[in-house]
Amino acid sequence: MNLTRRMMLAAATALALVPAAGMAQETIKVGEINHYKRMAAFAEPYKMGIELALKEINADGGVLGKPLEFVFRDDQGDPAEAVKIAEELMTRDGAVMLTGTILSHVGLALSSFAAEKGYLYLAAEPLADSLVWASGNPNTFRLRASTWIQAAMLAEEAAKTDAVKYATIAPNYAYGQDAVAAFKENLKRLKPEVEFVAEQWPALFKIDAGAEVQAIERAKPDAIYNVTFGTDLAKLVREGGDRGLFDGRNVYGLLTGEPEYLDPLGDEAPEGWFVTGYPWYAFEDGTPEKAFVDAYMEETGETPKIGSLVGYLTAQSIAAAIEKAGATDTAALIEAFEGLEIEDTPIGPLAYRAVDNQSTMGAYVGTLALEDGKGVMVDWEYKTPDGYLPSDEEITAMRPAE
């Protein structure tokens, strides 16, 4: 190859590398990992919430003078795949931190990986208490209200009734196990005489609803605590409704009032259950909640889900942390997230507690009713975690020594 030819190839190679290097510096990238194919009905609204927030953030100048970019990757709901993708995002794609996941066992895998590798992980949606308590680490923060917080709110309502014998049903993995343990502990503290006469543990998304309903009915409980969601919830509601399982019994449902799970039930939505959820259709004009709903519907043409709100708050949280840090290295971002405060969000002020890296996001609680052939939450209210958490000393004792 002659000199001229070698020089031309070298110049072309150099020019080809410039845009890639330039792009790495033009945006601040966040690696977002979720179950987009396996749980599309839940992950897609979350993604659209992120995209709405990014549009607003970048229209306002981005962060540190640069656009904020999320790199979305699908882990198929597989913890090993999620860890593999996380490494690629951080080492190949130039992400400054990681976020995402819905399923708790995937979130726990990413949390351990982040601690091992020295990355920052904001667990957006996983709910298992162990994520920030028993398995907590300095590199992991969590946005959504934990199973403990939401279960404690349901237990508070349950304690007001005459029910003494309870049955529980929950998917048999970290989220379900933590959710049942939290409800039992909180309810027994409020009403020591209660007893749990049946505990059903169907495999996630593989429920045999007929068998589960029969087992609960045989135990003759006064009330039922339900933690199933998605297709498992739909099967349980249909089978339980057909067999009269819920007649004359108080039922408490974790997440049951969230549109992702309530809307597919249509006119089969159970009435009278006390649940946590997201009553987007009932927000009043002039509130931050309604402003978000309107902006989301205008941008997407769809009604919001709880995932939409979580996605929006995820991007808001990350943008605020980067601005507070004034840098994108992990140490600076971790320090910024500790005690981070964000004043203007759709749910009002939001902060991240230094004691356990858990946000102060609360939950909407209310009663299910049928209106126009679909389930809605009525008599609802938004509750913050205040008064529903263990003491800071108890939480510190639960977390591994740092």
Domains of the chain: 23-146+286-361 (3.40.50.2300), 148-284+363-383 (3.40.50.2300)
User: H or E segment at 47?
Assistant: helix 40-59
Contact 314, 102 (CB under 8 A): no
Residues whose CB falls within 8 Å of the CB of residue 212, separated by 6 or more in sequence, listed in order: 169, 200, 202, 236, 239
What length does the chain have? 402
State the pLDDT at residue 303. 98
Is residue 45 within 8 A of residue 307, CB to CB? The reply is yes
The rounded distance, in Å, linking the Cα atoms of 43 and 49 is 10
Report pLDDT digits (tens) over 180-223: 999 999 999 999 999 999 999 999 999 999 999 999 999 999 99
Pair 140, 357: CB distance under 8 Å? yes
Q: Where are the beta strands (DSSP E) in 206-347?
A: 223-226, 250-257, 274-277, 341-342
Q: Residue 25: what pLDDT? A: 59
Tokens of 54: 């990014």
pTM: 0.92
Q: Look-up: residue for tokens 């039992």?
A: 184
AA letter at 234 = A
Mean pLDDT, residues 296-317 taken together? 98
Mean pLDDT of the chain: 93
Give the lowest-confidence range in 37-46, 59-68, 211-220, 290-299. Answer: 37-46
Buried-exposed string 295-323: b where 16+ CB fall within 10 A, e elsewhere: bbeeebeeebbbbbbbbbbbbbbbbbbbe
**Measured CA angle at 13 (ends 8, 15), to 5 deg:** 95
